[in-house]
Structure 1
Amino acid sequence: MNSAEIKLDLFRRIDNLSGADLKRNYDKILALLNATTKYKLNPKERKAVEEAIEERKTGNSMTHKQVLAEAKQKYSNLKFE
């Protein structure tokens, strides 16, 4: 894809978002577009990361493969790589 095709594809994808999806993802989209802005975790994300770190320390963790398998099962409508 050339630059014009990429821009058009992004525009179409954003234009097709529902109002709720657009509002939910607006800050994330802006953060991606603004290369100098670092993504900041919200309190819920920060808590999840801290819990994951603690779980890892205690040896109670899963492999990447296990996480993908569980995510694919739970969210069958999403595509995972």
Structure 2
Amino acid sequence: MQTVPMVKQKVHQTLDTLPPQGLKELSQFLDFLKYKYQAERRTNIVALGGIWQDIPFDVTDEEVRALRRRVTDTLLSKV
């Protein structure tokens, strides 16, 4: 398994072999990776306010799925 310093060294060595267009593409790809990993770290949880302020809103995925199943069953029973 390669360590981080080994990977960095390999990247530096490869940079010297890329043509100008390849460096431009690599720069764009690195910008994409920076954006991707910054987006993953963002966890802005917005506090509910107004009339929702005092209502607990901790809903699990399973609860949402169960509600969807009930709504679907109710709608299908009316058809």
TM range (shorter): 0.3 to 0.5
Higher relative contact order (Cα pairs below 8 Å, separated by 6+ residues):
1
Task: Give the TM-score of the pair, scaled to structure 2.
Answer: 0.37
The structure with the largest alpha-carbon Rg is 2
